[in-house]
Structure 1
Amino acid sequence: MNNIRNRVLERDNYTCQYCRYNGDYKVLVIDHIVPKSAGGSSESDNLVTACMNCSSMKASKELKDYLAYTVYTNTEYYNTFQESMNNINTLIQTQVESSSARNTFYQLLFSNVIASMETYLSDAFIITVLSKKEYIRKLIETDPEFKKRKLDLADIFKSIDDIQDTASSYLLDIIYHNIWKVKNMYYSVLDIEFPDDLSEISKAIMVRHDIVHRNGKQKDGKRIEIDKDKVLKCVVDVSTLIRHIDDKLKVSTTGNKYLGDFIKKKLDELESKTYEE
């Protein structure tokens, strides 16, 4: 088991796969994605690195249920984002002596800025869309993935009954680091336009991808150098984008104030759905 544990930790770059914590090695544990009691194996493809806090919060809920729960409970998504930016602005004042460790430290902060942006974009969109049937209808009518789906006449009424669950499952599966897909969804479903120039945000997303998936190196193997100024610029660029979207969201919708009956029902289901590891 120790060999598997070490392989999983190394594979995940000693980083919690839920909250991206990358600190004291001793607080990291190995978590089952699908709990053993629900048929999950102890093979490496069903194991992820987690911090003790996330592992405890997840308990024995399946990963998808856990992620859904964290989204549905984050109704104050702008405050969550702003708190993250405040924490990063505080942490960036930390003095790190080693140049190598300093670069890694700034890489982690840079990645966290992008992760916070993606969390806002996903949670704000999901909560808002699922809170109103008119938004769910627009999602289904405009999203290319739904246009590909075919229904038999016998399944139509069941599909109508299950439409919120279908939309919820689909939205939770979307990878929100595709800024262009997210931009199109916000416009087609919520009629919210992103700023025209997203070039700096796109570059930052690609840098974060290399930090997380290539251990801080570019495709050609060159090490990515991140300093304090680059982190601060990323904070400014991302904060400007999120403020722009949040202002329009407040004007155009009531999604940030109204929690739909569907989401309340799903929260009740998820809170009662536990397994034993």
Structure 2
Amino acid sequence: MSRVKEDALQDMEWLDASAEQAGSKDWLKSATVSEQIAAMIGWFKSKYEDPANQCSWDAEDDRYIFLHGGPYDPNDVLQEQFGQTVPYDVIQAAVRRLVLEAGDSWAPIEWEDDVPDYDFALSMRVLHSSDPRRMLSDRLADIERMLRTEMGRSELAVQLAHGAAITALESYLWDTTSFWTSEDPEVFKQFIATNTEFGKEKIPLARIFDELDGLAERFKRYLQDLVWHRLDKIKPMLEAGFGITVPDVASLMEQVVVRHHIIHRGGRDKDGNLVLVTVDKVRGVIAQINQFVDGMEVEIKRRFDIAEPARDLFDWADDIPF
């Protein structure tokens, strides 16, 4: 019969466990089952946390993006740390508690210094109206640099570069919409009022104030879950929400179909024919994206009366004919 009893699992005060106690192997060996479980959970939670507290959510792949290391499985971590000290079934009781709380993929509380994506993550935060365009330009430049390498000329790399260019456009649209609906209350109201999907839900009058309190967060989740490469649906949503004219998306929609074949059909169309994507075609897609976004930026700047940045005080010196 297992040493772990249901009443021990239910009654123990594991949330108050001391992480320091778990570090003492002598104490842990002689502790009761409830104390062992509580101490291991306390130790684990002093080093790892629910990824919802720090990780970005990738709606398309339905997963968290662990920018600071991980994910860490409580089973792997606790077995490695306590496997020689605590019986297996007791460790599993602690693991079940942790998995029940936040799943089997946890994030580190202390970020790893050698994680290469840390600086990248900071650079991808949208803090200014110019950030979405800057981040798009950076990503497209990365794609171009990759295409110039020997590896970047392989068929698979070229196909992935095509998909990455479309994804960069999706990110630009998402970042732009998210920034302005958070920054400008009038824009937020306009998006809510004109959005045929999000705005169609009926709310009982008795719940209206509760719903208002969480409206911004709900709309944020709606934007996160939106399929941004459906440009035929995104275009009218942006036009109604921002009150702007979005450039034509017909040619880009053709490339979205190509991306779909690459990502979801292994590079073949619905009839099974191979989709031919060349370096020049990818560069053509990048040019289309830049042209589209340039048009978007003109409309956004007009809508929000954003002035072009002033030239540097000494820029004019290069124009002097001597």
TM-score tier, shorter chain, comes to 0.5 to 0.7
State how 1:39-50 maps to structure 2 within 5 Å. Answer: 39-40=102-103
Are 2:239 and 2:245, in contact at CA under 8 Å, matched by a contact in 1?
yes
Q: How many residues align?
A: 209
- After superposition, residues 28-177 of structure 1 pair within 5 angstroms as 36=99, 38-40=101-103, 76-96=131-151, 102-177=154-229
Q: Compared with structure 1, are the counterparts of its residues 158 and 217 closer, same or farther at alpha carbon in structure 2 (3 Å cutoff)?
A: same
TM-score when scaled to structure 1?
A: 0.65
Distance 1:185 1:53, change over 3 A: farther
- Asked if 2 retains the 8 angstrom alpha-carbon contact of 1:218 and 1:224, the reply is yes
For 1:79 and 1:93, the matched residues in 2 are separated by 21
The 1:39/1:95 distance shift into structure 2, 3 A limit, reads closer
Structure 1 181/38 Cα, relative in aligned 2: closer, same or farther at 3 Å?
A: farther
CA offsets, 1:91-116, max 9 Å, x none? 2222359xxx7211110111111011
Q: 1:221 to 1:90 in 2, by over 3 A?
A: same
3-state SS of paired residue (2:154):
helix
Deviates most, 128-137 or 200-209: 128-137
| Shift in alpha-carbon separation, 1:113–1:18, aligned structure 2, 3 A | farther
Query: How far apart, CA to CA, are the structure 2 residues paired with 1:146 and 1:30?
Result: 32
Give the whole-Å Cα distance in 1 for the aligned partners of 2:306 and 2:126. 12
Match of 2:37 in 1: none
Contact persistence 2:195–2:237 (CA under 8 A):
yes
SS in 2 for 1:217: coil
- What is the Cα deviation at residue 89 of structure 1? 2.0
- Is 1:219 aligned to residue 295 of structure 2? no
Q: Is contact 1:143–1:185 with CA below 8 Å preserved after alignment?
A: yes
Decide whether the 8 Å contact of 2:170 with 2:228 is kept in 1: yes
Confirm or deny that 1:201 pairs with 2:252: yes
Describe the superposition over 1:215-253 as per-residue Cα deviations: whole angstroms up to 9, x where unpaired: 111112222111111111101111100111012212212
> Paired residue for 1:247?
298
Structure 1 pair 145/199, CA: closer, same or farther in 2 (3 Å)? closer
Percent identity for Structure 1 against Structure 2: 23
1:166-189 deviation digits (Å, cap 9, x = unpaired): 221222221101101111111001
- Unaligned regions of 5+ residues in structure 2, if any? 1-60, 74-97, 106-114, 308-322
Residue aligned with 1:94, SS = coil
Give the 4+ runs in structure 1 shifted more than 3 A.
29-32, 35-39, 70-75
For residues 222 and 71 of structure 1, the distance between their equivalents in structure 2, rounded to whole angstroms, comes to: 40
Change (3 A) 1:31 1:114: farther
Q: Which amino acid aligns with 1:82?
A: S
Cα 1:241–1:18, aligned 2, differ >3 Å: closer, same or farther? farther
Shift of 1:194: 1.7
How big is the shift at 1:31? 7.8
Residue identity matched to 1:216: G
